[in-house]
Amino acid sequence: MFRTALRNLLAHKARLMMTALAVLLGVAFVAGTLIFSDSVGEAVKNASARNLKDVAVSVQAVYGPDRPGGEGKDGKRATALDDRLADRIRALPGVAGVRSDVTGQATVAARGDGHPIGNGWQNRAANYQPGPGGDDPRYPLVRGRGPARADEVALARSTADAAGYRLGDPVRLATDGPVLTKKLVGIVASDDPAVTAGGSLTLFDTATAQRLYLHPGQFDELVVAAAPGTDQEALTAKVAALLPADRATATSGRELAAEQARRIADQNHALSQTLLTFAGIALFVGVFIIANTFTMLISQRTREIALLRAVGASRRQVVRSVLVEAGLLGLLSSAVGFGLGAGIAVGLRAVLASQGAGFPDGPVVISPSAVAASLAVGVGVTVLAAWLPSRKAARIAPVEALSTVDAPPTPRSLVFRNVLGGVLTTLGVAVMLWVSTLTGGDNLPLAMGGSMLTLIGMIVLAPLLSRPLVSLAGLVTTRLFGVGGKLAKENALRNPRRTAATGSALMIGLTLITGLTVAGHSSQLALDRMAAAGLTADYKISTSTGTGLDPQRSAAVARVPGVAATAPLRGAGYTVQGGGSGPDGGFGYVHGTDLDQIGKVTALTVTQGSLAAVRSGGIAVSETGAKEHGWRAGDTVALTFYDKKTVTVRVGAVYADNPVLGESFAGTALVDPHLDRLRDDELLVKARDGGSAALAGRIRAALGDSPLLKIQDHNDLRKETAGQIDTMVYMIYGLLGMAVVIAVVGVVNTLAMSVFERTREIGMLRAIGLSRAGVKRMVRLESVVISLFGAVLGIGVGIFLAWAGGKLVGSSFATYRMVLPWDRLGLFLLLALVVGVLAALWPARRAARLNMLEAIGAH
């Protein structure tokens, strides 16, 4: 029977091509993901191993428990690691050397326009430690020399290149406070993972670094190198014994490496999980195409199979023969798909690298497990999809070999299928209706389950739905294209299962795309509204590192010509200790601000109490906040701030919810004493005559022109939030694209099968006067009808799921409302139409080229 399977496979090469393509694409996706994540994982691991190569023990400072970030009021950390401790460690037997590291953040401004280099949160700064030879082995010099004085700096090569600095140039950079200008004296190579991942690296001399980030003589980390043959664990224990309790920890290099490997694996895992989910969707879509093909092959081969049965093949052998054929097809396609996947992995890495994702370099890693998994998935999916059709083959009776007429197979009843589909869909819809009454992200798994049920129910119901929907489309095509349109409709209706399976493949992709688009669009509009809601100021000023602005400098902004009003926002968290009718222990966040100005820069509507009561030392709370804590204007409440001090204040006012102000605000006098550092998280600026580029420039200058500054008008704010959603939506479009491509392959496949099955019909039509163009049009219209069927179902289900599930997402921001992006939905329909026309290109050409006489005589 194996030979039969092989012969069949070879005999139907052309017809199996589309099926093979579907499997191939799915497997390529899986293989690409696996190879990509293996390669990147390996490269990152190698990079960090290189980084940890000489680390035997790492001593890290533990910052004060009451100060999580470690910064004091001056913005500098205090640590217990100093030169004295470093010397004591150096004196231990087996220690070959100790590096004393200072680490911080520094943002470099580009040479021309001053825009910040790097990716914001990974802009590392460190101290350059010349060894006995004058060089720092950790940062090999490419050009120039290491920084030795306070006004000198060295940059990583990638940083200098990105910023456009050359040796000798004055480099503008900011750590936290005002802009610093230092001379570039050296350019170094660095394999620091943060740098290879797209961050920047700035090096100061040790004293300068300490002055910027710590206190003189202190360090963040002591890195101990061991002499050869020293036991790492024993040395770690010895080092630990020297450390002041609770102020520092010692970790062995091996442990650090393990921890890093674990973290990398976790990150990698999350990425590959996401990618594999989409690969799974693509393969799921492929199942429909494979099942379609085998169903058709078996019905074409009915007599052949009956003959095999007549000469003594058992049912089981027939089934096995079909499954072996599927397995061979799966194996061949998977093998080719794997090759394509390797290409995808390499391409993906290059594309992501050019987008600045910055993975470390390394070879392409093809692990045996990736090979095995890809082949197993490809073969498994193909065999699974062929399983139902193979059952059908087993039911063919030997006597059918003897029948002389080509009796059309009696269509099996759809009753069971429809009942099953009805039940599944009803269940799914019920779950989703229930979900639509819920809020909160915890219910996400429930929403996903409900969505899946609804989608699968619709897939099962698709043959039933195909009749009315295709008939409806047929009305249009018949009206527009006459008999060709009518024939197209009838052909699409002829085999509801096949039409449904083909349409379903497209439906799955479009359901996901539509759901995503609707939810994304609605969120975007909501964020749009929120970004500028409640803000009457023309500018919102903050820093890209989130470290905030120096209040003295921001006070200067009020004096900039053209500025009408400014108000700072300084946030502080608190726990409710008593007062009001709500429970104690609730968390809250209060903004300290200028109470005289806040009304000028925000749309403030006091609904209870008065601002005057807040001015005399009270606190104002939003309506939502008041409801949550059970507060009313006039209540006296006790709040404990993060510095563990408790204050008792009166609720002076309740105001209508305002996203700028958040849950509550008060005068700076109330909040300032409890802040670690006096910084303005945000500064709101109202211009006298509206904003202008010149005014923004003057404000930037008043604030010291730091590259960290973010001066955003309403438009920028909107773009910042909405842009993220756009990027995400487009990324997912790309990932779902593969599923759509496979669905299109499915449409091509179905049409090719249909044309093949109807060879004689087409020959007859040609004989009685249907032109080649007419035949083409007929096939094309059938394709369009099937595509539109899938698209309409997909868009419909997608909208429903987005409506029901959207509230879960939307509940996190009050301005969420479902809005249908009609232009995009219209575009999807149009795309389905185009897909239909494109998918029909090849089958229609084949149909039109059929030799009439052979077609009429064909059996």
Partner 1 sequence: MPHTAVPRTAVPARAAAAVAARATDLSKVYGQGETRVVALDSVTVEFGRARFTAIMGPSGSGKSTLMHCMAGLDSVTGGSARIGDVELADLNDKQLTRLRRDRIGFIFQAFNLLPTLTALENITLPLDIAGRRPDKDWVGRVVETVGLSGRLAHRPAQLSGGQQQRVAVARALAAQPEIIFADEPTGNLDSRSGAEVLGFLRESVRAMDQTVVMVTHDPVAAGYADRVVFLADGRIVDELYEPTADAVLDRMRRFEAAGRAS
Q: How far is the CB of 764 from partner 1 (least distance, A)?
A: 6
Residues forming beta bridges with residue 222, ordered by sequence position = 59, 100
Cβ closest to partner 1, residue 484 vs residue 520:
484
The CA-based diameter of the chain, rounded to the nearest angstrom, is: 103
Question: Is the Cβ–Cβ distance between 684 and 601 less than 8 Å?
Answer: yes
d(CA 271, CA 105): 27
Q: How far is the CB of 393 from partner 1 (least distance, A)?
A: 23
Q: How far is the CB of 282 from partner 1 (least distance, A)?
A: 33
Q: How far is the CB of 484 from partner 1 (least distance, A)?
A: 8
d(CA 106, CA 174): 6
Cβ closest to partner 1, residue 280 vs residue 774:
774
For residue 762, what are its two tokens?
A: 């087409």
Rg for the chain, CA atoms, rounded: 34
Question: Is the Cβ–Cβ distance between 61 and 220 less than 8 Å?
Answer: yes
Q: How far is the CB of 411 from partner 1 (least distance, A)?
A: 11
Cβ closest to partner 1, residue 119 vs residue 471:
471
Amino acid identity at 494: R
Cβ closest to partner 1, residue 764 vs residue 829:
764
Name the residues that contact partner 1, by CB under 8 A.
408, 482-484, 486-487, 490-491, 493-494, 760-761, 764-772, 774, 852-853, 856
Q: How far is the CB of 480 from partner 1 (least distance, A)?
A: 13
d(CA 12, CA 19): 11
Q: How far is CA 658 from CA 97, 430, 473, 664, in A?
A: 57, 35, 49, 10
d(CA 331, CA 325): 10
Q: How far is the CB of 490 from partner 1 (least distance, A)?
A: 4
Residues forming beta bridges with residue 219, ordered by sequence position = 81
Cβ closest to partner 1, residue 427 vs residue 764:
764
User: At a CB cut-off of 8 Å and minimum separation 6, what does 405 contact?
Assistant: none
Burial of 78 (0-12, 13-18, 19+ CB in 10 A): middle
Q: How far is the CB of 474 from partner 1 (least distance, A)?
A: 11
Q: How far is CA 612 from CA 55, 479, 580, 653, 742, in A?
A: 60, 73, 20, 9, 66
User: At a CB cut-off of 8 Å and minimum separation 6, what does 65 contact?
Assistant: 246
Cβ closest to partner 1, residue 7 vs residue 479:
479
Cβ closest to partner 1, residue 238 vs residue 766:
766
Cβ closest to partner 1, residue 481 vs residue 816:
481
Question: Is the Cβ–Cβ distance between 180 and 208 less than 8 Å?
Answer: no
For residue 113, what are its two tokens?
A: 């326009």
Cβ closest to partner 1, residue 15 vs residue 772:
772
CB atoms within 10 A of CB 590: 26
Cβ closest to partner 1, residue 93 vs residue 408:
408
Q: Helix (H) and strand (E) counts for the chain?
A: 26, 24
Q: How far is the CB of 775 from partner 1 (least distance, A)?
A: 10
